[in-house]
């Protein structure tokens, strides 16, 4: 994405600061991904607050979020299966 395109997107969502923060840009990326009807967000603290990654999903509908236990291999396998089935899984591993 070029600078002009990112400025257009930032102005469209009305990020108040002249220079957006990393958190604002991350949230913008998540909202952009959430516009696709096949996107599913899976991981720890995607449906319940607890870590900083939860805030990056502000505005993403709760029905698009699937909370997982701390079982990273299971989560990776499920994300691969979802992708094979035609979904766009966004797998979140908070660190």
**Residuewise pLDDT in 10s, the chain (95 residues):** 444 445 555 555 665 657 888 889 989 999 999 999 999 999 998 998 888 888 889 999 999 999 998 899 999 999 999 999 999 999 998 87
The predicted structure's pLDDT at residue 53: 84
Tokens of 24: 């604002």
The one-character DSSP state at 64 is G
Q: Give the integer Cα–Cα distance in Å for 10 and 26.
A: 12
Burial class (CB in 10 A: 0-12, 13-18, 19+), 15: middle
The confidence score (pLDDT) of residue 2 equals 47
pTM of the prediction? 0.76
pLDDT at 14: 61
Q: In this predicted structure, what is the pLDDT of residue 9? A: 57
pLDDT at 54: 87
Beta strands in 1-95 (DSSP E): 39-43, 65-67, 88-92
**What pLDDT sits at residue 67?**
92
Query: What per-residue string of b and e applies to 27-55 under the rule 16 or more CB within 10 Å gives b?
Result: bbebbeebeeeebbbbbbbbbeeeeebbe
């Amino acid at each position: 994405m070029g600078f002009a395109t990112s400025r257009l997107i930032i102005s469209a969502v009305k990020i108040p600061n002249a220079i957006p923060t990393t958190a604002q840009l991350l949230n913008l990326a998540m909202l952009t991904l959430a516009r696709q009807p096949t996107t599913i967000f899976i991981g720890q603290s995607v449906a319940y607050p607890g870590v900083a990654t939860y805030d990056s999903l502000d505005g993403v509908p709760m029905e698009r979020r699937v909370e997982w236990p701390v079982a990273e291999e299971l989560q990776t396998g499920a994300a691969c299966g979802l992708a094979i089935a035609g979904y766009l899984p966004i797998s979140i591993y908070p660190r």
